[in-house]
Chains A and B, each alone.
Chain A
Amino acid sequence: MDMIELIKQPWSWYFSGIMIVAIMLMLIFWGKSFGFSSNLRTICSMAGAGKRTGFFNFDWKAQRWNLLFLIGAIIGGWISSTLLSSPAGLDLSAATVTDLNALGIGFNGGINPDELFSLQAMGNPKVLFLLVIGGGLVGFGSRYAGGCTSGHAISGLSNLQLPSLLAVVGFFIGGLVMTWLIMPFIF
């Protein structure tokens, strides 16, 4: 019981970092590589995109393991919010709360803002538009860059790959431009 209570607490950054490496190593020792965004390409192929576009015409069944990993990730999220839900809210920096309030985004201790991710917000065409465009940039950008945070920032940097470092620098340039220059105008 004490163990479960301990797990229910929000996890520290260093424990999370250790666990992410443990997961990467599990996949490496199973002969695979840790990279999540390739699932998006695989799903496009499964849906038949390979008939029209060469990029999606590959043996997606060899990527079945990664789709299983994706299904596990969904289940893991569900377990966190049900069996392992924490009584403590997210401990967000006060400066961030102030900044986001100025943009019209409230904070109630949850992990995502209701203004963007509640079902009510889905009735707002502007929010829907922002989420579709944001998702589109993530999907387009990760394929263009050949990987996302798991493939480049974790796997690639661990293998000291210069291209991954360039991609991660790009992630941050894009993120800073969106946060500081674009979000004040679109929120």
Chain B
Amino acid sequence: MMKSVKFILAGILFGIVMSKSEAVSWYRIQEMFRFQSFHMYGIIGTAVVLGTISVWLIKRFKLKDTEGLPLVFKDKQAPYLRYIIGGVIFGLGWALTGACPGPMFVNLGYGYLAMIVVIIGALAGTYLYGVIKNKLPH
């Protein structure tokens, strides 16, 4: 029970952080792709710098998780083509809808019911990938 609650609480914190910092805003994403503000670069940049230091420290001191198990970071595998092609396709949708998979749901909770349309599209896109995966270059 507590196990379930902690993930919901972490999600609530994520939803509040993403909306209070306006990272879920379609306008902020447009501002980022137009290079007209530092806001989104600041959020992502701060997270990446602190994240890199944290992961390095976890590895350096061989820290364990709350169950006492060693923390392992899985390396992302080659081939590399999929990351570029998939990334570009993702970016086209990100700029158009202003929403990545997380913010879509945060926006829905915020009261933007129209995000259901984007979520349905995202589920359909995910399903389509699963169906034609083997025919795509990776």
Which positions in A face B, CB cutoff 8 Å? Answer: 7, 10-21, 23-31, 33, 36-37, 39-41, 43-44, 49, 52-53, 55-56, 65-66, 68-81, 84, 86, 90, 92-93, 95-96, 99-100, 107, 111-113, 116-119, 121-122, 128, 130-146, 148-150, 152-164, 166-180, 182-183
In the complex, which residue of chain A has the Cβ closest to the Cβ of B27? A92
- Chain A residues with CB under 8 Å of B136's CB are 144
Contact status B90-A145, CB under 8 Å:
yes
Question: Which bracket fits the contact residues of B?
Answer: 35 or more
Which chain B residues numbered 33 to 92 have a C-beta less than 8 Å away from chain A?
33-34, 36-40, 42-48, 50-52, 54-55, 58, 63, 65-67, 69, 71, 73-78, 80, 82-92
In the complex, which residue of chain A has the Cβ closest to the Cβ of B81? A166
In the complex, which residue of chain A has the Cβ closest to the Cβ of B114? A117
Bound-complex Cα distance A113 to B124 (A)? 24
Residue from A15, A71, A182 within 8 A of B92 (CB atoms): A182
Bound-complex Cα distance A93 to B35 (A)? 10
Contact status A175-B42, CB under 8 Å:
no
Contact status B14-A76, CB under 8 Å:
yes
**A–B complex contacts, Cβ < 8 Å, 6 sampled:** A80-B16, A134-B99, A139-B123, A160-B55, A175-B95, A179-B33
Bound-complex Cα distance A140 to B125 (A)? 4
Contact status B21-A111, CB under 8 Å:
no
In the complex, which residue of chain A has the Cβ closest to the Cβ of B87? A170
Bound-complex Cα distance A78 to B109 (A)? 5
Residue from B44, B63, B85 within 8 A of A153 (CB atoms): B44
